[in-house]
Amino acid sequence: MNSRRDLLKTVGAGMLLKLIPVGAFASDLVKFVDVRLWPADEYTRVTLEHAGAIKYKHFLIENPWRMVIDLLDMRLDNTLKDLTSRLQADDPYVQQIRVAQYDANTVRLVFDLKTEVKPEIFTIDPIAEYKNRFVVDFYPKNPTDPLLALLKKSEDPAMREDEISRALRLAESETNGAFKLEGIAPEKSAKTDVAKAKPNAPVDSKPALEIKRMFTVAIDPGHGGEDPGAVGKGGTYEKNVVLAISKKLKAEIDKMPGMRAMLTRNGDFFVPLNTRVQKARSVNADLFVSVHADAFIRPTAGGSSVYVLSERGATSTAAKWIANKENASDLIGGVNIKGTDAQLARVLLDLSTTAQINDSLKLGDAVLGNLGKVNRLHKPRVEQAGFAVLKAPDIPSILIETAFISNPAEEKKLASSAHQQELAEAIAQGIAKYFAKNPPVARTPLT
């Protein structure tokens, strides 16, 4: 009899459990392990890392702008409370964060905003060392045009958009439209040689005006934000090292006559792989240079490497392994799959041409040769593999592994500002050498 009574109790308990709504015990299942904020000019990311499943709803409020997120079936804990302390005063989009227990089963997050935004909210499944992530991205409603921003930042006033426009209008009025726009290699003069302008022409005749255009290099510091990249034994983060090198590389290129550089990220935030490519194309970049610091399973591996795209498979097992690792950046950094135009991204990344790869190999050779002057080389030749970030169809593109951060000796050098400068100068000189032999074709006057 007792066993029958116990069985009935067990069955009854099971039936009772089935009657309780799903999520009623969510507060017991969801545990927040960390909260992070990643402010940047382009967008601010809020990440709530947790174990368990989250139910939520959200809405925007105007005058003033606020973003409200309700976490359902939830109890406020100390980790969530700590979110308010992570906000920086100079965050471009978020003015203030308020966190409170809204009712018995709801935690409310209120983001007071500095401007109108276009928010994106999504979740990321566990990967690498991360558990589940609840992500909120605050994008500006009206983002800045990247090409216009680059023109405005030009240190050469004669190359700014308004000055170029005036030069073109002057050229058309003086030559009846008979002017030419040329890409000129660094060692050539931008001045017009009057004596060579026209055979048998009078000395005072007005020659066609030759206008020099700037060469634009897109520099892509790998990883960033939620994606740290490789981490050395001494705790050095790849994302920080490559950003430092990239900033120095930009400064070197900006000093060169007729050249300018843009960074796909200028701070510690995540940029998806296809967005890096789109950024380069949005400023009509002539070259794309992705900067990384390698890691391998053996700490003895070392040296600098340069990679270009391959349409027929990797040139070595190591190249394939590295490409797979770099291509996993989107999964680790966190991409809003629903917010991505997957078809557009697929088309963009499937249009690479043989000509682009051939030009990339020339660029890679020039850069690798110069890197060999400041660091030993891992391989004496440029290697190829299926790197997603190198698939711009019309821009010669290379990926540089400056050294192995997994090698303790090279990690120490990578953390050195002096060695970072040496690497930046070597890469810049290699780029200049490539341009001298392969000046880009002319483009539209404003670029």
**Residues 162-178: tens digit of each pLDDT:** 444 443 443 344 334 33
Contacts of 317 (CB under 8 A, 6+ apart): none
Q: How many Å apart are CA 175 and CA 163, to the nearest integer?
A: 18
Is the distance from CB of 262 to CB of 150 less than 8 angstroms? yes
Pair of tokens at residue 223: 């990883």
Q: How many residues does the chain have?
A: 447
Rg of the chain on CA atoms, in Å: 27
Is the distance from CB of 367 to CB of 401 less than 8 angstroms? no
Q: How many Å apart are CA 326 and CA 322, to the nearest integer?
A: 6
Instruction: Answer whether residue 447 shows pLDDT above 90.
Output: no
Q: How far apart are the first and last CA of the chain?
A: 90
Is the distance from CB of 127 to CB of 145 less than 8 angstroms? no
Name which residue leads in pLDDT, 392 or 2.
392
Pair of tokens at residue 116: 């109108």
Pair of tokens at residue 324: 């797979």
CA 347 to chain centre: 19
Other CB atoms within 10 Å distance of the CB of residue 304: 26
Contacts of 378 (CB under 8 A, 6+ apart): 294, 301, 302, 303, 304, 305, 401, 404
Q: Under DSSP, is residue 310 helix (H, G, I), strand (E, B) or coil? A: coil
Percentage of the chain surpassing pLDDT 70? 74
Pair of tokens at residue 290: 């992705």
Is the distance from CB of 424 to CB of 219 less than 8 angstroms? no
pLDDT digit string (tens) for 222-261?
A: 999 999 999 999 999 999 999 999 999 999 999 998 899 9
Residue-level pLDDT at 176 = 41
Residue-level pLDDT at 200 = 43
Q: How many Å apart are CA 45 and CA 84, to the nearest integer?
A: 14
Confidence class of residue 189 from pLDDT cuts 50, 70 and 90? very low
